[in-house]
C-alpha cells in the first residue's frame, strides 16, 4: 500500500473515531456532550490560572472535550463540542482537520476557545465554517504561558487552551482545521 493509501486509511479511522461531521440526532448524546463540555471547562478553569482569568472576560467559550487525532504521513482529527454563552449551551459544533508531513501516532485531547468579543463570535458562524488560522486573531495558550498569564490585558479576539492530552503524536507538518455548526 502506498504512503498516501496508509494515510487515507488512518484519516478515515480518525474521522470515524471522532464522530465525523455530524452529531447524532440522539438527544441523549447532545445532553452528554453538554455535560462533558461543561465539566471540561470547569476542570480547565480550576487547574489553569490563565484559563480562569480569560473565562471571566470572555463573551462565550467553545469547548471540544474529546478530539481524536491520528496520522501516518497523512493524518486527521475530529470531535464535537458545545458553545456556552451566558451559562447556557447555545449551539453544537464539529471540528475536523487534516495534516500532511512527517508525523506518526494517535492521541486524544480537548480544547477550549474563549471568545473575547462579539465580533470574533460572529465569525464562528460564517457560511462554510470557521477556519482556524483565518479570520480573528487566536492566541494558543500553552501550559507555561497560561500559568503566568493571570493579569494581562486581553487584546486578542480568541484565546485557545489545549488540555487532557492522552497518547503520543509526534512530527512536523502542515495542518488545517475547520469548525462547523451542527444540529444535535
Q: Does the pLDDT of residue 1 top 60, yes or no?
A: no
Give the SS3 label for residue 106.
Answer: strand
Q: Does the pLDDT of residue 6 top 50, yes or no?
A: no
Given this model, what pLDDT does residue 115 score? 93
Number of structural domains the chain divides into: 1
Label residue 140 by pLDDT band (50, 70, 90). Answer: low
pLDDT digits (tens, 9 = 90+) for 68-122: 988 888 888 999 999 999 999 999 999 998 888 888 888 888 989 999 999 888 8
Q: Does the pLDDT of residue 153 top 80, yes or no?
A: no
DSSP 37-87: HHHHHHHHHHH-HHHHHHHTT-SEEEEEEEEEEEEEEEEEEEEEEEEEETT
Q: Cβ contacts of residue 25 below 8 Å, gap of 6+?
A: 184
Given this model, what pLDDT does residue 147 score? 45
Higher pLDDT, 87 or 9: 87
Given this model, what pLDDT does residue 102 score? 80
Label residue 177 by pLDDT band (50, 70, 90). Answer: confident
* pTM recorded for the entire structure: 0.75
Asked if 90 and 100 touch (Cβ cutoff 8 Å), the reply is: no
CA–CA separation, 81 and 66 (whole Å): 8
CA–CA separation, 168 and 181 (whole Å): 29
Give the SS3 label for residue 94.
Answer: strand
Cβ neighbours around 126 below 10 Å, total: 12
CA–CA separation, 19 and 30 (whole Å): 13
Q: Does the pLDDT of residue 22 top 50, yes or no?
A: no
Q: Does the pLDDT of residue 127 top 80, yes or no?
A: no
Given this model, what pLDDT does residue 138 score? 58
Q: Does the pLDDT of residue 61 top 90, yes or no?
A: yes
Label residue 46 by pLDDT band (50, 70, 90). Answer: very high
How far, CA to CA in Å, does 95 sit from each of 66, 67, 144, 149, 164? Answer: 10, 8, 25, 27, 17
Q: Which domain holds residue 146?
A: 3-182
Q: Where are the beta strands (DSSP E) in the chain?
A: 60-85, 88-115, 130-131, 138-141, 158-182
Q: Cell triple for residue 31?
A: 445532553
Amino acid at each position: 500500500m502506498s504512503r498516501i493509501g496508509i494515510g487515507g486509511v488512518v484519516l478515515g479511522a480518525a474521522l470515524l473515531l471522532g464522530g465525523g461531521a455530524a452529531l447524532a440526532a440522539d438527544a441523549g448524546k447532545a445532553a452528554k456532550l453538554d455535560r462533558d463540555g461543561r465539566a471540561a471547562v470547569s476542570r480547565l478553569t480550576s487547574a489553569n490560572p490563565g484559563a480562569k482569568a480569560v473565562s471571566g472576560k470572555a463573551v462565550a467559550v467553545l469547548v471540544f472535550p474529546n478530539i481524536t487525532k491520528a496520522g501516518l504521513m497523512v493524518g486527521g482529527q475530529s470531535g464535537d463540542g458545545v458553545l456556552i454563552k451566558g451559562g447556557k449551551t447555545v449551539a453544537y459544533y464539529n471540528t475536523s482537520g487534516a495534516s500532511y508531513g512527517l508525523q506518526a501516532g494517535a492521541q486524544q485531547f480537548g480544547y477550549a476557545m474563549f471568545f473575547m468579543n462579539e465580533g470574533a463570535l460572529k465569525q464562528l458562524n460564517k457560511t462554510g465554517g470557521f477556519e482556524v488560522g483565518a479570520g480573528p486573531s487566536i492566541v494558543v495558550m500553552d501550559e507555561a504561558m497560561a500559568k503566568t498569564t493571570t493579569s494581562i490585558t486581553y487584546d486578542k479576539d480568541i484565546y485557545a487552551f489545549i488540555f487532557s492530552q492522552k497518547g503520543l503524536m509526534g512530527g512536523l507538518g502542515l495542518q488545517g482545521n475547520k469548525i462547523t455548526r451542527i444540529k444535535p
